[in-house]
């Protein structure tokens, strides 16, 4: 029997994203790019972001390798962030961080959509860095000039 915590961590939607990641690949230049890694576990993610003149995120893709949590989180992130403004993206990122770290209620839970399914990570503190890996890379990419 699987524990409820483990079932929450690895929900079908999450496993599906990790098996069949969306928006996987690179974007051609010009675009923003950042590399993120978790040296302690070897997970790596590269994020490519195309930002329009009005500051909205036109497209984003990722490559990399890692556990189901880091890959699913990256895949779900690309779907959620595409089309958002940088400010909206930052707000989603902060809400997502609160959810996976169990650090207070998200300001706008509805905006998270299926990302809320990664809430199970809360019970596995060592996996928070897996869930946040792609988001840290995204933040870094958007900080680039």
Partner 1 sequence: MDWHRIRSDFPILDQQVHGHPLVYLDSAASSQKPRAVIQTLTHYYERDNANVHRALHELSNRATEAFEATRGKVARLIGAASEDEIIFTRGTTEGINLVASTWGTQNLRAGDVILLTGMEHHSNLVPWHLLAQRTGATLKHISVLDDGTLDLAQIDTLLNEQVKLFAFVHVSNSLGTINPAKELIAKAKAVGAVTLLDGAQSVGHMPIDVQDLGCDFLAFSGHKMCGPTGIGALYGRMALLESMPPWHGGGEMILNVTLEGSTYKPPPHRFEAGTPDISGVIGLGAAIDYLQAIGLENIQRHDHNLANYAVQLMGEVHGIRILGPLSGHRGALVAFHLDFAHPHDLVEFANSHGVAMRGGHHCTQPLMRRFKVPGTTRASFYFYNTLEEINRLVEVLHLARKFFA
Q: How far is the CB of 3 from partner 1 (least distance, A)?
A: 5
End-to-end C-alpha distance for the chain, whole angstroms: 50
Q: Does 125 bind partner 1 (CB under 8 A)?
A: no
Cis previous bond, 30, omega within 30: yes
Q: Does 20 bind partner 1 (CB under 8 A)?
A: no
Q: Which is nearer to partner 1, 9 or 117 (CB)?
A: 9
Here the tokens at position 17 are: 């994203």
Per CB under 8 A, the list member of 130, 133, 137, 141 interacting with partner 1 is 130
Q: Which is nearer to partner 1, 70 or 78 (CB)?
A: 70
* CB contact burial 70-108 (16+ within 10 A = b; e otherwise): bbbbbbbbbebbbebeeebbebbbbbbbbbbeeeeebee
Per CB under 8 A, the list member of 17, 80, 127, 136 interacting with partner 1 is 127
* Residues in 92-121 that interact with partner 1 by CB under 8 A: none
User: Which residues make Cβ contacts (< 8 Å) with residue 84, sequence separation at least 6?
Assistant: 56, 57, 92
- Given the rule CB under 8 A, which of 21-29, 41-49, 86-94, 136-144 is the region that contacts partner 1? 41-49
Tell me phi and psi for residue 105, to 5 degrees. Answer: -80, 145
d(C-alpha 134, C-alpha 11), whole Å: 19
Please give the size of the binding site for partner 1, defined by CB under 8 A.
21
Per CB under 8 A, the list member of 9, 115, 128, 132 interacting with partner 1 is 9
Contact residues toward partner 1 (CB under 8 A) are 1-3, 5-6, 9-10, 15, 40-44, 65-69, 124, 127, 130
């Amino acid at each position: 029997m699987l524990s409820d915590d483990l079932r929450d961590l690895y929900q079908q939607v999450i496993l599906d994203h990790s098996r069949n990641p969306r928006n996987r690949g690179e974007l051609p230049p010009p675009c923003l790019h950042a590399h993120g890694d978790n040296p302690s576990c070897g997970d790596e993610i590269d994020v490519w972001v195309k930002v329009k003149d009005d500051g909205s995120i036109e497209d984003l893709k990722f490559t990399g390798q890692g556990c189901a949590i880091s890959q699913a989180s990256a895949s779900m992130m690309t779907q959620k962030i595409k089309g958002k403004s940088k400010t909206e993206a930052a707000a989603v990122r902060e809400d997502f961080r609160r959810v996976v770290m169990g650090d207070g209620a998200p300001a706008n839970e509805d905006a998270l959509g299926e990302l809320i399914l990664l809430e199970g990570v809360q019970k596995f503190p060592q996996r928070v860095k897996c869930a946040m890996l792609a988001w840290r890379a995204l933040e870094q990419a958007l900080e680039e000039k």
